[in-house]
Amino acid sequence: MMTIIMAAILGALCILCIALAVKKHSSTGKTPVFAVALALIFALVLIVVPFSIHIVNTGEVAVVKQMGEAKDVKTAGMHFDLWLITQYDYYDSKVQNVEIKTSAYSSDAQTMEIAMTLQYQISTENAIDIAKQYGSLDALQNRIEAIAVEKTKSVLSSYKAMDIISDRASMSPKVEEVIINAITDEYFVNVSTVVLTNIDFSTAFEKAVEEKMIAEQKKLQAEYENEMKVAAAEAEAQAAIQKAEGEAKAKLIAAEAERDAQVELSRAEALSIQLKSVEIARALGFKVTENETFDEDGIAVVEYVIDFTDKSADEIALITDYLKYIEYLAKWDGKLPTVMSGDGASIMIPVEP
């Protein structure tokens, strides 16, 4: 723009100089041919040169056309090409961000409005090919958008609406993969990103989905509450069982303790009576000898042996009847004193009762 303004200013100055020269020499009647020609040449140079200077900015490439035919590609910088026969077409080489909106159908015929973002960048070394095959960057972008729309519809049409809603996050990668594979080298661009930014279904369908989700939530809530009730009942029953088991165990322990106490009491009474019987036998004149030994459990006991030699039957009966009573008292542990008939009797008494 500055080049055009400068050329216009310089051209105007040249025309002004020519006019002044003609006016100065008009009074003499001579035509200043050389001066006019020089001024015209100077004006032509000032007009042609500025328009032949081309600036390519950073982030752009320029396709140079000579007489309408693409000949070369210029990158960022200042270039000189005669503007009368040369044309510069500027292409943006930065990443292009394209917003696309379209309609699509799911496999179960549900309509949806799609919004997507596609980013691509042209291959600068193929700028001449783009110019030859597509004429302009706008035409190329229109083609890319058409492919993106077509492939997006194709992908989404293979899914049911509910599947798209429940698995929406996976739709973008699938669409991106298909579009990138479809935009091949013949388009001379590199597609970097494709993102589905929005998928809107019809109002009626979205309302139906919402109602279904509410119903499912209520069902799940009811199932959860029922599970909590069952769990509470099971916990209560388990607690009752544990309580009953605890009470029964306590009673059993108490009964066993009482039984053990009775056994020990009976043993103590039997031991006391045994000792008394030994004393009675001694008092009646029976000979009593003591021998220390061990029972079958390895417990040390004292064996008292009563000698019946030269004793009457009545005397012997007195001792034996007493020993039978001892046997009755000691029946709790199943271990009875040894009673021997004939020449004598023996009584086994623990050393540590």
Residue range 18-39: mean pLDDT, rounded: 59
Whether residue 328 sits in one domain with residue 304: yes
Looking at the domain assignment, is residue 232 inside a domain? no
Whether residue 61 sits in one domain with residue 108: no
CATH classification of the domain holding 289 = 3.30.200
Binned at pLDDT 50, 70 and 90, residue 311 comes out as confident
Whether residue 167 sits in one domain with residue 78: no
CATH classification of the domain holding 191 = 3.30.479.30
Looking at the domain assignment, is residue 10 inside a domain? yes
Q: With a cut of 90, say whether residue 255 has pLDDT above it.
A: no
Looking at the domain assignment, is residue 9 inside a domain? yes
Binned at pLDDT 50, 70 and 90, residue 153 comes out as very high
232-246, 278-292, 338-352: least confidently modelled range: 338-352
Q: Considering its fold, how many domains does the chain have in total? A: 3
What is the per-residue pLDDT for 352? 46
pLDDT in tens, 58-113: 888 988 888 878 788 888 788 877 677 788 888 989 999 999 999 999 998 899 99
Token digits of residue 283 = 């008092």
pTM over 0.75: no
Which of 162 and 326 is assigned the larger pLDDT? 162
Q: With a cut of 80, say whether residue 340 has pLDDT above it.
A: no
Whether residue 37 sits in one domain with residue 11: yes
Which of 277 and 155 is assigned the larger pLDDT? 155
Whether residue 53 sits in one domain with residue 100: no
Structural domain span for residue 183: 96-201
What is the per-residue pLDDT for 118? 96
Q: With a cut of 90, say whether residue 193 has pLDDT above it.
A: yes
Whether residue 102 sits in one domain with residue 86: no
Looking at the domain assignment, is residue 221 inside a domain? no
Looking at the domain assignment, is residue 215 inside a domain? no
Query: Rounded to an integer, what distance in angstroms lies between the CA atom of residue 100 and that of residue 115?
Result: 6
Query: Rounded to an integer, what distance in angstroms lies between the CA atom of residue 160 and that of residue 209?
Result: 13
Which of 84 and 192 is assigned the larger pLDDT? 192
Looking at the domain assignment, is residue 220 inside a domain? no
28-32, 59-63, 273-277: least confidently modelled range: 28-32
Whether residue 189 sits in one domain with residue 125: yes
**In whole numbers, what is the pLDDT of the chain averaged over residues?**
78
Binned at pLDDT 50, 70 and 90, residue 177 comes out as very high
Whether residue 345 sits in one domain with residue 284: yes
pLDDT in tens, 139-150: 999 999 999 999
Looking at the domain assignment, is residue 210 inside a domain? no
Binned at pLDDT 50, 70 and 90, residue 45 comes out as low
Which of 4 and 201 is assigned the larger pLDDT? 201
